[in-house]
Structure 1
Amino acid sequence: MGLFFIKCKEAGHVCDKHQYEEASTKEKIKLNIHLMYCSACRKHSATNKKLSQLIKKIQFQFLSSEEKEQLKKAFEKELQKHQN
């Protein structure tokens, strides 16, 4: 392929890198050129972007070690009730 033309496989890889701000300027240019003529990769890029935006919006909450232990004990207690 030419200097700025890439295959779909490479475009997908660059798309993923771009979502995490790891793509170089040259890679971004190649990706944009590829997206102009490849509808499948445009769709992949749009879906990838939406997924990344959704993940950024999620507010993850984690249990502390103490909360995990309490949950484990409560589960084991309930399990014992149903095994007898």
Structure 2
Amino acid sequence: MKNKLFISCQEAAHRIDKAQYGEATFWEKLTFKIHNLYCRLCHFYAVKNKRLTGLLKSDELHCLTKDQKTKMKEKLADTTSNS
């Protein structure tokens, strides 16, 4: 079996996503953390992904009601038809 301590950015992104949802193994977490030490793009991806996950889990997330969505669609249709 080949030892893959250094992984590609694509594989690192996949492992970062798995870690966010608690599905990554210890080895996967270790390899993407090593990758993040030398790859700034993947590091920023991990930071943004963690921030997004935190926002989605927070209580401050508000969704539109069906009535609000319908009104917004009608308003959008009116403005596009008048143009």
Indicate whether the TM-score tops 0.5: yes
Q: Residues of 1 paired with 2:33 and 2:4: CA distance?
A: 13
Gap runs ≥5 in structure 1: 76-84
Name the SS for the 2:45 alignment partner: helix
Q: Residues of 1 paired with 2:22 and 2:62: CA distance?
A: 22
Report how far residue 8 of structure 1 moved.
Answer: 0.1
Q: CA RMSD in A?
A: 2.2
- Percentage of matched positions with identical amino acids: 39
Find the counterpart in structure 2 of residue 26 from structure 1. 27
Q: Residues of 2 paired with 1:60 and 1:23: CA distance?
A: 30
Counterpart code for 1:12: A
Structure-2-length-normalised TM-score: 0.68
Report how far residue 9 of structure 1 moved.
Answer: 0.2
Report how far residue 40 of structure 1 moved.
Answer: 0.2
Structure-1-length-normalised TM-score: 0.67
Report how far residue 60 of structure 1 moved.
Answer: 6.8
Counterpart code for 1:54: L
Report which of the two structures shows the higher radius of gyration computed on alpha carbons: 1
Q: Residues of 1 paired with 2:6 and 2:54: CA distance?
A: 28
**Aligned pairs (5 A) from 1:1-80:** 3-58=4-59
Gap runs ≥5 in structure 2: 72-83
Moved over 4 A (4+): none
